A and B are shown apart, each in its own frame.
Chain A
Amino acid sequence: KQEVTQIPAALSVPEGENLVLNCSFTDSAIYNLQWFRQDPGKGLTSLLLIQSSQREQTSGRLNASLDKSSGRSTLYIAASQPGDSATYLCVLGSARQLTFGSGTQLTVLP
């Protein structure tokens, strides 16, 4: 059974800092890994999708890496902004379902 752990559970940083969110998983037999953003009272927004054959993906200020052998992924956010404040979810895709981490709640202080 896949288990996904995200560390830290909460993070508060001043605006402009670079930061890293961590995700670890127990079963490397995955199809893909996604990072989602969840805003309070709203749905989920997919940020980056890494296929199992890839090692990283980049979009703007975001960079996500995947190391299946060690069961780890990181989400790097450069030059953080208050608008980045949200909960970030690491999600593992297997044959028919997604397994979600519990999320990292990020607060970027102006």
Chain B
Amino acid sequence: NAGVMQNPRHLVRRRGQEARLRCSPMKGHSHVYWYRQLPEEGLKFMVYLQKENIIDESGMPKERFSAEFPKEGPSILRIQQVVRGDSAAYFCASSPLGQGDTDTQYFGPGTRLTVL
């Protein structure tokens, strides 16, 4: 059973371009979470999605950021018009049940975004 997969592992963008980060959850998992780790800071929750639904986006910046988890295919975190402050490691996690008490999240290796 492959783990959570993220691609690309490293992404370089110039200011103003768009960044698309992909996350394929573990087989059988229908819940996906995105986290961001800024340089010298801890990881922070961004968004929680189930298939075709955004459940909690309280950690998502209001502008330029969006996330989706379609019925088929990976979850996508999209950042429009990137700025240097978007440079960070973006981690995806998945869980089978989405239940905090008994469920654990499995993390992918992360995508390191560098904005020039």
* Residues of A that sit less than 8 Å from B by CB: 4, 31-32, 34, 36, 41-44, 46, 49, 51-52, 89, 93-103
| CB-contact partner of B42 in A32, A96, A103, under 8 A | A103
Among A36, A41, A101, residue most surrounded by chain B Cβ atoms (within 10 Å) = A41
Residue of A nearest to B104 (CB): A49
Q: What residues of chain B lie closer than 8 Å to A46, measured between beta carbons?
A: 104, 106-107
How many cross-chain pairs have Cβ atoms below 8 Å apart between A and B? 57
Please report the C-alpha to C-alpha distance between residue A95 and residue B91 in the assembled complex, in whole angstroms: 19
* Residues of B that sit less than 8 Å from A by CB: 33, 35, 41-45, 48, 55-56, 58-59, 91, 93, 98, 100-102, 104-110, 112
Please report the C-alpha to C-alpha distance between residue A93 and residue B104 in the assembled complex, in whole angstroms: 9
- B101 engages A51 (CB within 8 Å): yes
Q: What residues of chain B lie closer than 8 Å to A103, measured between beta carbons?
A: 42
- A31 engages B101 (CB within 8 Å): yes
Known contacts A49-B104, A94-B100; 14 further A-B pairs (Cβ under 8 A): A4-B42, A32-B100, A41-B112, A42-B110, A89-B42, A89-B43, A93-B105, A96-B100, A97-B58, A98-B33, A98-B35, A98-B105, A102-B41, A103-B42
Q: What residues of chain A lie closer than 8 Å to B44, measured between beta carbons?
A: 100
Residue of B nearest to A43 (CB): B109
Q: What residues of chain B lie closer than 8 Å to A96, measured between beta carbons?
A: 48, 55-56, 98, 100
Q: What residues of chain B lie closer than 8 Å to A100, measured between beta carbons?
A: 35, 42-44
Residue of B nearest to A41 (CB): B112
Residue of A nearest to B92 (CB): A43
Q: What residues of chain B lie closer than 8 Å to A44, measured between beta carbons?
A: 91, 107
A68 to chain B, nearest CB (A): 14
Q: What residues of chain B lie closer than 8 Å to A34, measured between beta carbons?
A: 104
Please report the C-alpha to C-alpha distance between residue A96 and residue B44 in the assembled complex, in whole angstroms: 13
